[in-house]
């Protein structure tokens, strides 16, 4: 069990599938239930005890930086990418701000509701430094609100260990955009552009990739149609209450 005090939100992407909304608004600032996706993510990190959040920017980064001025907590550190570095390259670029201990990384468009225990706390509680370098939050594809792709990302074996989907295969879990990572995974990675998928595959090959299945609701805000389904679902939840 660990209690990470540093997290990162990936906010550099263009959000191509959400156009035309993202032609003038960075995807992390798209509002769901009256609040920007980026703030939802930072709120979850703060609730889990994170004291510093690193936010990487590229596309319309000045708008994101201006938006974040309104937050008084937690501490926000913005690192701008002159050229887009993708997810893995973005984390590697920010590594000097993330420290030497495991840290959370959350996609800037990740949106979820927790059950009794928060997803980030569950990841931290499951962390075992003797066996784990990366711990992913997975979501059942069948219950992911707004998810259109359907084929999933991972399967779990009988011991709960994740395995990446093979070509042509359909698997029951998608990666939820929420994770806990050891900085050691990045030490032999090149500077520049690369995906976090390289990190996951590296950990899986070494049998040091862990995963938990989310036990709350998870929302996929990827297209205008998916965004509407998410808003409709959250509106119905408010009515149910």
Task: Give per-residue pLDDT as tens, 121-169.
Answer: 999 999 999 999 999 999 999 888 878 767 889 999 988 899 999 988 8
For residue 1, tell me if it sits in a domain. Answer: no
Residue 111, SS3 per DSSP = strand
208 belongs to a structural domain: yes
Task: Please give the Cα distance from 122 to 113 (Å, whole number).
Answer: 13
User: Mind listing the pLDDT tens digit for each residue in 29-82?
Assistant: 999 888 899 999 999 999 999 999 999 999 998 999 999 999 889 999 999 999
Q: Is 49 left (phi over 0), alpha (psi -120 to 50) or beta?
A: left
Q: What is the CATH number of the domain that holds 200?
A: 3.90.550.10
Structural domain boundaries enclosing 29: 6-240
- Global pTM value: 0.92
Residues 6+ apart with CB under 8 A from 114: 44, 216
- Residues 183-189, mean pLDDT to the nearest whole number: 93
Element (DSSP H or E) covering residue 229: helix 224-240
CA-to-CA separations, 160 to 139, 208, 209, in angstroms, rounded: 13, 12, 10
| Number of domains making up the chain | 1
Residue 117 CA, distance from chain mean position: 18
Helix (H, G, I), strand (E, B) or coil at 120: helix
Instruction: Let me know if residue 108 belongs to a domain.
Output: yes
């Amino acid at each position: 069990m660990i209690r990470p005090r540093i997290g990162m939100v990936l906010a550099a992407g263009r959000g191509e599938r959400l156009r035309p909304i993202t032609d003038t608004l960075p995807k992390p600032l798209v509002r769901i239930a009256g609040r920007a996706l980026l703030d939802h993510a930072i709120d979850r990190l703060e609730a889990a005890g994170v004291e510093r959040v690193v936010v990487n920017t590229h596309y319309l980064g000045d708008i994101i930086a201006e938006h974040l001025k309104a937050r008084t907590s937690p501490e926000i550190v913005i690192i701008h990418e002159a050229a887009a570095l993708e997810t893995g390259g973005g984390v590697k670029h920010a590594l000097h701000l993330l420290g030497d201990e495991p840290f959370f990384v959350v996609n800037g468009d990740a949106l979820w509701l927790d059950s009794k225990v928060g997803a980030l706390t569950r990841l931290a509680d499951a962390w075992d430094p003797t066996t784990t370098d990366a711990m992913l939050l997975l979501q059942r594809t069948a219950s992911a609100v707004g998810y259109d792709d359907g084929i999933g990302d991972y399967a779990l074996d009988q011991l709960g260990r994740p395995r990446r989907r093979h070509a042509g295969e359909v698997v029951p879990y998608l990666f939820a955009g929420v994770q806990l990572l050891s900085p050691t995974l990045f030490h032999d990675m090149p500077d520049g552009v690369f995906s976090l998928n390289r990190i996951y595959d590296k950990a899986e090959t070494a049998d040091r990739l862990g995963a938990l299945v989310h036990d709350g609701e998870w929302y996929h805000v990827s297209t205008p149609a998916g965004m509407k389904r998410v808003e409709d679902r959250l509106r119905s939840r408010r009515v149910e209450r």
